[in-house]
Amino acid sequence: MSEFLVLVTASDARELLGRFPAVGAERVALEEADDRVAAVDIAAPEDLPAWPRATMDGYAVRARDTHGASEAVPAFLTLRGAVPMGDVWTGGALAPGDAVSIATGGVVPEGCDAVVMLEYVQAAGADIEVRRSVATGENLMRPGDDVRHGEIVVRAGRRLRPQEAGVLAALGVDAVEVHRRPRAGVLATGNEIVAPSAAPRPGQVRDVNSMALAAQLRRAGADVILGGIVADDAAALAEAAAGLLERSDLLLLSGGSSVGARDLTVEALERLGAEIVFHGISVRPGKPTILARLGDKPILGMPGVPVSAMVIFEVFVRPLVWRLGGEPAREPWPARRRARMRRRTPSVAGREDYLRVRFVDTDGGWVEPVLGGSAALGTLVRADGLVVVPAESEGVAEGDEVEVMLNG
Over residues 136-160, the pLDDT tens digits come to 999 999 999 999 999 999 999 999 9
Three-state secondary structure string covering the chain: CCCCCCCECHHHHHHHHCCCCCCCEEEEEHHHCCCCEECCCEECCCCECCCCEECCCEEEECHHHHCCCCCCCCEEEEEEEECCCCCCCCCCCCCCCEEEEECCCCECCCCCCEEEEHHHEEEECCEEEECCCCCCCCCEECCCCCECCCCEEECCCCECCHHHHHHHHHCCCCEEEEECCCEEEEEEECCCEECCCCCCCCCCEECHHHHHHHHHHHHCCCEEEEEEEECCCHHHHHHHHHHHHCCCCEEEEECCCCCCCHHHHHHHHHHHCCEEEEECECEECCCCCEEEEECCEEEEEECCCHHHHHHHHHHHHHHHHHHHCCCCCCCCCCCEEEEEECCCEECCCCCEEEEEEEECCCCCCEEEECCCCCCCCHHHHHCCEEEEECCCCCEECCCCEEEEEECC
Looking at residue 6, its pLDDT comes to 64
For residue 49, whether the previous peptide bond is cis, meaning omega lies within 30 degrees of 0, is yes
Q: What is the mean pLDDT of residues 200-220?
A: 94
Q: What is the pLDDT confidence band of residue 335, given thresholds at 50, 70 and 90?
A: confident
Triad 255, 260, 265: Cα angle to 5°: 50
Query: Does residue 316 contact residue 12 with C-beta atoms inside 8 Å?
Result: no
- CA-to-CA separations, 385 to 275, 287, 291, 311, in angstroms, rounded: 34, 20, 25, 10
Tell me the mean pLDDT in the region 47-57.
Answer: 96
Query: Is the pLDDT at 259 greater than 80, yes or no?
Result: no
Alpha-carbon distance of 124 to 99, in angstroms, equals 13
Judged against a pLDDT cut of 80, whether residue 374 lies above it is answered with no
- Across the chain, what does the average pLDDT equal? 92
- Residue 388's pLDDT is what? 95
| Cis status, amide bond into 21, omega within 30 of 0 | no
What is the rounded distance in angstroms from the CA atom of residue 208 to the CA atom of residue 378?
13
Question: What mean pLDDT is predicted for residues 296-305?
Answer: 94
Class of domain 53-141: mainly beta
Instruction: Check whether 296 has a pLDDT greater than 80.
Output: yes
CA-based nearest residue to 40, from 155, 182, 153: 155
If pLDDT is split at 50, 70 and 90, which confidence band does 260 have? low
Mean of the pLDDT values across residues 233-258? Answer: 90
Range(s) of the chain covered by CATH 2.170.190.11:
53-141
- Please tell me the distance from the alpha carbon of residue 91 to that of residue 364, in angstroms, as a whole number: 64
CATH 3.40.50.150 fits 336-406, yes or no: no
- The distance of Cα 55 from the centroid of its chain, to the nearest Å, equals 32
- At 2 the pLDDT is 44
- Which numeric CATH code is attached to 10-24+180-324? 3.40.980.10
Read off the pLDDT of residues 340-365 as tens digits, 9 standing for 90 and up.
999 999 999 899 999 999 999 878 79
Biggest CA pair distance of the chain = 98
Question: How many Cβ atoms sit within 10 Å of the Cβ of residue 191?
Answer: 12
Residues forming CATH 3.90.105.10 domain(s) in the chain: 27-45+147-179
Q: Residue type for 102, please?
A: I
Band (pLDDT 50/70/90 cuts) for residue 109 is very high
pLDDT at 256: 53
pLDDT of 1 reads: 40
CATH class, domain 27-45+147-179, is alpha beta
Percent of the chain with pLDDT over 90: 83
Whether residue 73 contacts residue 131, with contact meaning beta carbons closer than 8 Å, is answered with: no
pLDDT of res. 126: 82
Quote the pTM value: 0.86
Confidence of residue 43 (pLDDT cuts 50, 70, 90): very high
What integer is the mean pLDDT of 19-33? Answer: 97
d(CA 182, CA 180): 6
pLDDT at 258 > cutoff 70: no
Q: Is the pLDDT of residue 172 over 90?
A: yes
Is 34 in contact with 160 (CB distance < 8 Å)? yes
Q: Where in the chain is the domain with CATH 3.40.980.10?
A: 10-24+180-324
**From 69-78, 177-186, 267-276, 323-332, the region with the lowest mean pLDDT:** 323-332
Confidence at 261, pLDDT banded by 50, 70, 90: low
Could you give the residue range(s) of every CATH 2.40.340.10 domain in the chain? 336-406
Task: Give CA–CA dist 376/162, Å, rounded.
Answer: 39
Give the mean model confidence (pLDDT) for residues 104-110. 95
Angle between the N-to-C axes of helices 234-245 and 262-272, in degrees from 0 to 180, rounded to the nearest 10: 50
Tell me: pLDDT of 3 over 50.
no
Q: In the structure, what pLDDT confidence band is assigned to residue 284 with cuts at 50, 70 and 90?
A: very high
By percentage, how much of the chain surpasses pLDDT 70? 96
> In whole angstroms, what is the distance from residue 291 CA to residue 298 CA?
7
